[in-house]
């Protein structure tokens, strides 16, 4: 019994020593693949009742975990840089990634657009929450950044209200990035049925309307069998609702690793 105890203690000590010894070397390795997560600085919708805007933790944290666990370095960028706020309680994988994967540290030190070198990124992801509709969607520097990553062969992904934030991205040829592409985003029918933004009246625009206006082929509950499906059209990956946020991240990784190009 005591002999076995000594054996297990030796095993655990060895394990800890090995990890400890390797970690500086791992830290020094250059990150080959990077993803930029775009988040909002907006906290509320600016109305009298201060309806919650912010970023939806459940649409940002799980994809962060997926990117990280597949070897991607992840940076956050927001219109103003610095700390950003999240709605929803930290539970499940969101809680895990906050506690054990540095999510909070990264998100609380988001970069400003001027600090970002678009050529370093393989992809850009925008999660939901209403926040991005209020600032990201109309921020010229951020929209240019997304366009630059996309035009350099990068993948653009979004979930929920995120696709509304990239609906206004204009490419160098003057076309909207989403023009002619199948894109899913938070549907009008759901927006109109919820009080979160007074049936959508507090929003600068409805996601589906804006995508349609800018030439996207909008995927919604009327033309899809499963509302949680992930829509992939060349290098744009999108979905309507938060349960599929991780699947968007996984599909983005497949596109990047598979070297998908137009």
Gap between the Cα atoms of 123 and 257, Å rounded? 11
Q: Are 128 and 208 in contact (CB under 8 A)?
A: no
Find the part of the chain contacting other proteins (CB under 8 A) among 40-48, 100-108, 151-159, 236-244: 100-108
* Residue 213 in contact with other proteins, rule: CB under 8 A: no
Q: Tokens 């990035």 appear where?
A: 177
Contact map string, positions 51 to 70, toward other proteins, x by CB under 8 A:
-----------------xxx
Q: Are 255 and 237 in contact (CB under 8 A)?
A: yes
Give the Å distances, CA to CA, from 182 to 30, 85, 159, 187: 35, 30, 14, 14
* Residue number with CB closer to other proteins (104 or 179): 104
Find the part of the chain contacting other proteins (CB under 8 A) among 91-99, 154-162, 175-183, 223-231: 91-99
List of residues 6+ apart from 107 with CB closer than 8 A:
39, 60, 76, 83, 84, 86
* Residue 73 in contact with other proteins, rule: CB under 8 A: yes
* Residue 29 in contact with other proteins, rule: CB under 8 A: yes
Six token digits for residue 49: 């009742």
- Answer for which of 8, 174, 195, 258 binds other proteins (CB under 8 A) is 8
* Residue 89 in contact with other proteins, rule: CB under 8 A: yes
DSSP β-ladder status, 123-126 and 230-233? unpaired
Find the part of the chain contacting other proteins (CB under 8 A) among 95-103, 117-125, 135-143, 230-238: 95-103
- Answer for which of 99, 120, 192, 194 binds other proteins (CB under 8 A) is 99
- Answer for which of 88, 104, 112, 171 binds other proteins (CB under 8 A) is 104
């Amino acid at each position: 019994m005591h002999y076995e105890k000594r054996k297990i203690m030796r095993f655990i000590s060895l394990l800890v020593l090995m990890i400890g010894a390797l970690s500086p070397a791992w830290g020094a390795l250059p990150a080959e693949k990077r993803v930029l997560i775009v988040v909002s600085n907006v906290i509320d919708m600016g109305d009298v009742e201060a309806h919650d805007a912010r970023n939806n933790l459940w649409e940002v944290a799980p994809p962060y975990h997926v990117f990280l666990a597949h070897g991607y370095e992840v940076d956050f960028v927001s219109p103003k840089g610095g700390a950003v706020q999240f709605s929803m309680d930290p539970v499940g994988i969101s809680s895990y990634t906050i506690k054990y994967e540095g999510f909070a540290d990264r998100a609380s030190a988001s970069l400003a657009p001027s600090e970002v070198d678009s050529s370093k990124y393989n992809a850009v992801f925008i999660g939901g929450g209403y926040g991005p509709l209020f600032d990201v969607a109309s921020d010229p520097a951020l929209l240019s950044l997304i366009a630059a990553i996309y035009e350099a062969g990068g993948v653009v992904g979004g979930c929920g209200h995120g696709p509304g934030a990239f609906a206004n991205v204009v490419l160098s040829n003057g076309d909207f990035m989403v023009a002619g592409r199948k894109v899913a985003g938070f549907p009008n029918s759901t927006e109109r049925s919820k009080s979160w933004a007074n049936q959508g009246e507090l929003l600068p625009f409805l996601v589906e309307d804006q995508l349609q206006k800018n030439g996207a082929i909008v995927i919604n509950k009327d033309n899809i069998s499963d509302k949680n499906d992930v829509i992939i059209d060349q290098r744009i990956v999108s979905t309507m609702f938060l349960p599929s946020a991780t699947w968007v991240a996984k599909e983005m990784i497949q596109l990047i690793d598979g070297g998908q190009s137009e």
